[in-house]
Amino acid sequence: MKKSIISFVLTIVILLGLLGATTPIKAEAASATKNIVIVIDPGHGGTGERNLGAQYNGFSEKEMTMQVANAMKEELEKYDNVSVYLTRTTDTFISLEDRAVTAQNLNADFMFSIHFNASLEHDFYGSEIWTSAFGSFYKKGAEFGQIMSDELGNLGLYQKGVKTKIGKTGKDYYGIIRQSVARDIPCVIIEHAYLDHGYDLPFLNTAGFLKTLGVTDATAVAKYFKLTSKTTGADYSNYSFKTVSIPKTRLSQDFTEPDYCKVSCVSYDSNSRNALIEMSTKDSQSPVIYFSYSYDGGKTYSILQMWDRTKETQSFNVNIPKGVVSPTIICRAYNNYELYKESEPVLVTGYTN
Ligand SMILES: [Zn+2]
């Protein structure tokens, strides 16, 4: 009896000893932070027109993406437990598939494709972020994209938002996203600014701005992955961001213009030659982000103005130059997929030439 009690106690002691020996190892394993692998993709590269990216106002996209990517890498490497790689380090052509294969071989947690924008009619400005339209790839891209957009917005760049685009084959339209997702790697395209619009040029012409963009991108990544840095003391371990739920079906782009666009002429002031216009618009699928106006019945339009997306109705002055006969206002409301709804024409009441 006594023997069995002694052996029972011994067993407990041995077990406790074993637990004691194993517990610290377990705790260490739990506290060891996983190393995050980040792949940065400097968009474009190489010779031949289609590899240069956008070329406007003395800016070359393929060179700018490299500068931003290098600055982003340098900044990200200040954080703990992160490995950072680029898909290209020289000005050479690399296919989108090969870029994704690089990320796959590195076991990347996320691929960030760095770009600058331009539009056919040179009318759009600001930043936009493209993400996959599918499941958890959408969720990750949309969550990161919102952090990224907020950071770029803090620099003063106008924010067009986080978007998806499906191609004809029913997959993600953009190759780098499609190729990454096919390899189980979340990927976003960061279109920082437009090289062909006067509104973004002052930013791009600011000395050191590309480095600032790289640091900004890195900060967004650090916040998303809740990184800490022994080097700088930055600590985003408690950073919280708005979570996005995994969509049940793929999230197609918005193919339709805003629901409506209505204008009225409130008053006309003959001293300032200003017509006070009230405009109402709404898009139930996407935010309305720009508007433009015409005072000559649609012959000419203003440059795109920023629409306060928190409001459905806004008022603004339209200056009518001398010599316009029967000034007639038409407004256009643009959603962030650049589709617009045009208002009915409205005569400026009380106008005398
Ligand atoms: Zn590009």
Residue 57 lies in a domain: yes
> What's the pLDDT tens digit per position in 175-190?
999 999 999 999 999 9
- Number of compact structural domains in the chain: 2
Dmax (CA) of the chain: 116
Could you tell me the CA-to-CA distances from 169 to 97, 173, 185 in Å, in that order?
17, 8, 20
Output the CA 25–ligand 1 centroid distance in Å.
48
Three-class SS state of 182: helix
Asked whether residue 83 falls in the same domain as residue 205, the answer is yes
Q: Is residue 235 part of a domain?
A: no
265 and 220 assigned to the same domain? no
Same domain for 214 and 264, yes or no, is no
Write the DSSP assignment of 299-319 as a string of letters.
SS-PPPEEP-TT-SEEEEEEE
Pairing verdict, β 288-294 and 328-335: antiparallel
Please indicate, yes or no, whether residues 157 and 304 belong to a single structural domain of this protein: no
Ligand 1 centre to CA of 116 (Å) is: 5
Q: What is the pLDDT of residue 32?
A: 54
Share of residues in the chain with pLDDT > 90 (%): 88
49 and 125 part of one domain:
yes
Query: Which pLDDT belongs to residue 15?
Result: 44
CATH of the domain at 205: 3.40.630.40
**248 lies in some domain:** no
Distance 26 CA to ligand 1 centre (A): 46
What is the model's pLDDT at position 79?
A: 98
Nearby residues for ligand 1 (ion, Cβ within 5 Å): 43, 53, 115
Flag whether 24 is in a domain: no
For residues 52 and 191, state if they share a domain: yes
Q: Is 146 exposed, middle or buried (0-12, 13-18, 19+ CB in 10 A)?
A: buried
What CATH number should be reported for the domain holding residue 338? 2.60.40.10
The alpha carbon of 61 and the centre of ligand 1 are apart by a number of angstroms equal to 7
Domain contains 28: no
Q: Are residues 63 and 168 in the same domain?
A: yes
pTM of the shown model: 0.89
Q: For residue 6, what are the contacts with CB-CB under 8 A and spacing of at least 6?
A: none
Residue 15 belongs to some domain of the structure: no
Shared-domain flag, residues 189 and 295: no
Show Cβ contacts of residue 53 under 8 Å, excluding neighbours closer than 6 positions: 43, 44, 60, 61, 62, 65, 115, 116
pLDDT tens for 273-295 read 999 999 999 999 999 999 999 99
Tens-place pLDDT, residues 207-228: 999 999 999 999 999 999 999 9
Helix (H), strand (E) at residue 67: helix 61-76
53 neighbors 62 (Cβ within 8 angstroms)? yes
Domain that holds residue 281: 260-347
Ligand 1 centre to CA of 208 (Å) is 20
Tell whether 313 is covered by a domain.
Answer: yes
Residues 238 and 87: their CA atoms lie apart, in Å, by 30
Q: What is the separation of C-alpha 178 from the centre of its chain, rounded to a whole number of angstroms?
A: 17
Kindly state whether residue 170 falls inside one of the protein's structural domains.
yes
Looking at the structure, tell me whether residues 272 and 210 fall in a common domain.
no
